Chain A
Amino acid sequence: MSETRTILIVEDNALVAKFYKMALERGGGFRCVVTENVAEMLKHVTAGEVDLAILDVSLSDTEWEGRRLDGLELARILKQRAPRKLPILLATAHAMAGDRERMLAASGADGYLEKPIYEADALVATVRGLLDSAAGG
């Protein structure tokens, strides 16, 4: 695994996005693309440039084809458009009982992290785990 993997970060809180980017770049040597714009996400995803996406569930400013999208729907769209298997990690501050199962089922995502997410090592390890199992399957 010598080439640099690219992680797409979709997060409506700029400071949280900044943390993910710093943690992944510095802690794991990944390259990060941060955007809330669906057209831009699709450009990177369909070009096969994205190896994994981290999506926030509550997105305030993400619109597509004239309506608001949440991270769950976005996960399905990105998976559909990706030229190869695209692992998706949901990162959300929804942390009530049952949220995890419901969101994984509704999005088809591969992993789920509850905010606050603040251990760079743990985030990097989760991302690597998902990338490895995507490569293996």
Chain B
Amino acid sequence: METFIEEMKRYLAFGAEDVRLLRQLGPRMDKYLPEMSERFYSQIPFHPNAFRVFTGGDTQIARLKQTLIYWAQGLFAGRYDEAYADERYQIGYRHVRIGLEQKYVISAMGIVRGFLSECLLLEFEAGDERLKFSRSLNKMLDLDLNLMCESYMHASTQNLRALNEQLERANRELAEASQSKDEFLAQTSHELRTPLNSILGFTKLILDGLATNPAEQRELLQDVFRSAQHLLGIVNDILDIGRIEAGKVSLHVETVNLRELLDSTLPLIAVQAAAKGVELRDETLRATLPRVRADEVRLRQVLLNLLNNAVKFTAEGRVTMRASTADGFVKLEVEDTGIGVPADARERVFQKFVQLDPIQARRQGGSGLGLTISQRLVELMGGEIGLHSDGHEKGTRVWFTLPIAGEPDATPRAPAAKARQ
């Protein structure tokens, strides 16, 4: 395909004869070039963006004047090849980037053209020879101006395209955010209606006189109470996740003694586990636990949630709490021998309102938001959370990490401990 510069050369009838004439003209124009450069840059103070473009002061301008002379010498060397076109494109791109408008370049090139035409008048007598030189000079300057203008257009188009892509991306993200908000609202509405159905339904049955036996009324009231508790759990979790996602949860991160935290948290779960005949095993007792950087209240919330889940979804067997350290992080792990998580659901369980066993989950008052909240909280505390299961009925292992407190000065602590002995 014909390149732009080839096309313009053909269009302007710029040929070998012009190159020959320009090479001949070059040496005779040399002496005028310093003045051309002066005149060119004398326009600078009138340039509206001068303060932005010429930031290097006099040194920069002196250098640019010299560059302009080299450029003009290059023009007369007749090297109108792809490499030259490329250089001009680069300059055009740079100008667009710094916000130098095309009109100022066109007028600056006009100054060059006017000056060089005057020089021809000084250098040659009126006649055919001067006319020939003048024609070639003008073709050459037209060619150069075309290159500059084309490069500006290219660069501007590219800029616009990039800007468009940015806008499209932003638009897409907004649409996605709005859609996930709609979905959350729909799911929330769905989740709230289910316990409300039982609360309203059973109370209305009693009020309508359709359940008159006191023992049965008591049973129904228990169902109402359980449903209301479930509803409260959902409402609390929804508020919690709403605050977290709106960035309105400010964590009070401090140095937390994990041993103390576990010692005060595990007994809360032990009662529940014992009631189901599930063994709660604390293997963290074997290891020396480091202090971690965390929000104590939120950390306890995450631990309770994972332990609760483990007990909830384990009919028999045990729930084991483990801890290990690696790379400046503590890894806390809750393993159970319960119903497990199928491979295709391991990512999904962290999504809002995803319950793999909703009957069981609801019976136990789960909102379907616990893992989502835990994931957000762990991430806010600078850790990671993950889930592993070998499949249905094979148990589940959920782990999360937390940064160890004061990790950089962990080494100097050893001699201090020694000194105390």
* CB 8 Å contact bits of B225-255 with A (1 = contact, 0 = none): 0110000000000000000000000000000
Chain B residues positioned under 8 Å from A117 (CB to CB): 197, 201
Contact B204 A12 (CB under 8 A): no
Q: Smallest distance from the beta carbon of B142 to chain A beta carbons, Å?
A: 63
Q: Residues of B contacting A96 with CB < 8 Å?
A: 182, 185-186, 189
Query: Is the CB of A135 closer than 8 A to any CB of chain B?
Result: no
Nearest Cβ in chain A — how far from B221, in angstroms?
12
The answer to whether B198 touches A120, judged by C-beta atoms less than 8 angstroms apart, is no
- Per-residue B-contact encoding for A8-21, CB less than 8 Å = 1, 0 else: 00001111101100
Q: Is residue A23 contacting chain B, with contact meaning CB distance below 8 A?
A: yes
Q: A-contacting residues of B (Cβ < 8 Å)?
A: 182, 185-186, 189-191, 193-194, 196-205, 208, 210-211, 223, 226-227, 355, 357-359, 362-363
Do A118 and B210 touch across chains, with their CB atoms under 8 A apart? no
Contacts A23-B210, A93-B190, A94-B186 known; A116 to B355 CB distance under 8 Å?
no
Tell me, in angstroms, the Cα distance from A115 to B198 when the chains sit together.
10
- State A4–B63 Cα separation when bound (angstroms): 103
A88-100 vs B, CB cutoff 8 Å, 1 = contact: the mask equals 0000011110000
Contact A26 B210 (CB under 8 A): yes
Given A22-B211, A26-B210, A60-B355, the answer on whether A120 and B204 have CB atoms closer than 8 Å is: yes
A118/B189 contact (C-beta < 8 A), A12-B359, A18-B223 known: no
Bound together, the chains give a CA A114 to CA B196 distance in angstroms of 12
Contact of B198 among A19, A58, A61, A121 (CB under 8 A): A19
Given known A-B contacts A93-B189, A96-B186, A14 and B197 have beta carbons under 8 A apart: no
Known: A12-B358, A12-B359, A94-B190. A116 touches B210 (CB 8 A): no
Output the nearest chain B residue to A123 by Cβ-Cβ distance.
B201
Chain B's interface: helix, strand, loop or mixed, by majority? Answer: helix
> Pick the contact of A120 from B182, B185, B210 — CB < 8 Å?
B210
B356 and chain A: residue at smallest CB distance: A60
Closest chain A residue, CB of each to CB of B197: A116
Q: How far, in Å, is A109 (CB) from chain B's closest CB? A: 18
Do B355 and A118 touch across chains, with their CB atoms under 8 A apart?
Answer: no
Q: Is A27 an interface residue (CB 8 A)?
A: yes
27 sampled A-B residue pairs with Cβ under 8 A: A12-B358, A13-B194, A13-B197, A13-B362, A14-B359, A15-B197, A15-B198, A15-B223, A15-B226, A15-B227, A19-B202, A23-B201, A23-B205, A23-B210, A26-B210, A26-B211, A93-B189, A93-B191, A93-B197, A96-B185, A114-B193, A115-B194, A115-B197, A116-B197, A118-B197, A118-B200, A121-B208
**A-B pairs, 8 with minimum CB distance:** A118-B200, A19-B201, A93-B193, A116-B197, A15-B198, A118-B201, A60-B358, A115-B193
Q: Tell me the smallest distance from the CB of A25 to a CB of chain B, in Å.
A: 9
When chains A and B are docked, how far (Å) is the Cα of A93 from the Cα of B205? 20
Q: Chain A residues near B355: list those with CB within 8 A.
A: 60
A7 to chain B, nearest CB (A): 16
Q: Is the CB of A119 within 8 A of B362?
A: no
In the complex, residue of chain A having the shortest beta-carbon distance to the beta carbon of B211: A22
Instruction: Kindly report which residue of chain A lies nearest to residue B209, judged by CB atoms.
Output: A26
